[in-house]
Structure 1
């Protein structure tokens, strides 16, 4: 089931957006649930108990605005697709720092909503049910790539890091690099990262969650290009 969120302090606009989303998702044959929040604080609290796939987030809200709300969301999780809703196009450039997928301008245009929704659905579909088979601690495991933050290597040993656990197995990063999807990118001779979880590029390092990983000089340009391309896809 798809879990969507509309976070906007104007009830009428929440209703308008909801109608378009419900109609389009019904036409696509999707099973879904749409939660509504009238402030960023309520959405952030709900993250403790719920996992959301797509979040439509108004930028201009009182107290915790949309950009600040998105920053809090990204500290907790990189999973949901965030789509900003705004009356002012100048705000949309702030979306890059929180990995926002796109933006929708008010007053709403149905065609734009549908287009952005389908892009989000495609990205979610691209990320689902992809695994990498590894031998770890005598067991054959299906490593969920969608949840893998990065791989690190130490000689002939590779460690896969997820938000919940770590898995160590025999192998080489060079082999992984050729076998994994394109959004896994080499940043160092010891690190291969999932661009989905890269929050920012910081000179000679990348930020993934609260962890800072080094970027080698030879990988810096290729990483910047790959990250920009991933954000635009």
Structure 2
């Protein structure tokens, strides 16, 4: 799961930024969690316990520990996090090179600039290719957000995609999907891949996904349990 961190001492501006990010990520089908902090100290205290890939939106002018110093400390903990500065002082953005900041956003926020910086950040983290499944048909290609897909299953030379909106299908083999799906999808049977996001419970020989009981093969039971436990921790 992608973790987005917003660190700004102005609550209203945090909320504005969060609202824009949530709307765009929802359209892209990216699985995410957004955490807000009002100070660099608070964020640094909790940062080591935040798992997964991260995008940080840091206000440069914070009380006590400013955004630049906060970013320096983050870099000692995490070399791969994407850092984006937010500021009303454009003259300070050049200091961002020191901490390998990807971008900066000037206040007040412009929606287009936020979306563009988010897309760049996702590209750096290599998440954009995982956000959607592309279903080809006669009329062209349809984009189905992975975040809406509950499970895939195969039957008689066709693969079915069960989403929160309905079911679609295409001719193919389920095995061809292996290796191209996000890590939240796991195989539970020769004929089923499920999205752990929609796994409600594990029974003796089945998985309850979206109120549907799906068979779990003995050979996949242990790997499913481990994957589900890891997913819950993230």
Q: 5+ residue gaps in structure 2?
A: 131-234
Partner of 1:17: 17
Paired position in structure 1 for 2:100: 99
Structure 1 segments (4+ residues) deviating >3 Å: 126-129
CA contact (8 A) 2:88 2:106 kept: yes
Contact 2:122–2:128, Cα closer than 8 Å, also in 1: no
CA RMSD of aligned residues (A): 1.8
Number of the residue aligned with 2:215: none
1:70-126, Cα deviation, whole Å (9 max, x unpaired): 000011111110000000110100000000000000000000000000000001017
The secondary structure found in structure 2 opposite 1:84 is strand
Partner Cα distance (2:118, 2:44) in 1: 22
Q: TM-score, normalised by structure 2?
A: 0.53
Structure 2: distance between partners of 1:127 and 1:20: 17
Matches within 5 A, 1:46-195: 46-51=46-51, 52-125=53-126
Gaps of 5+ in 1: 130-233
Structure 2 equivalent of residue 168 of structure 1: none
Tell me the secondary structure at the aligned position of residue 104 of structure 2: strand
Alpha-carbon separation, structure 2, partners of 1:8 and 1:91: 16
Structure index of larger Rg: 2
TM-score (norm 1): 0.53
Q: 1: distance between equivalents of 2:125 and 2:39? A: 25
Q: Distance in 2 between matches of 1:25 and 1:126?
A: 11
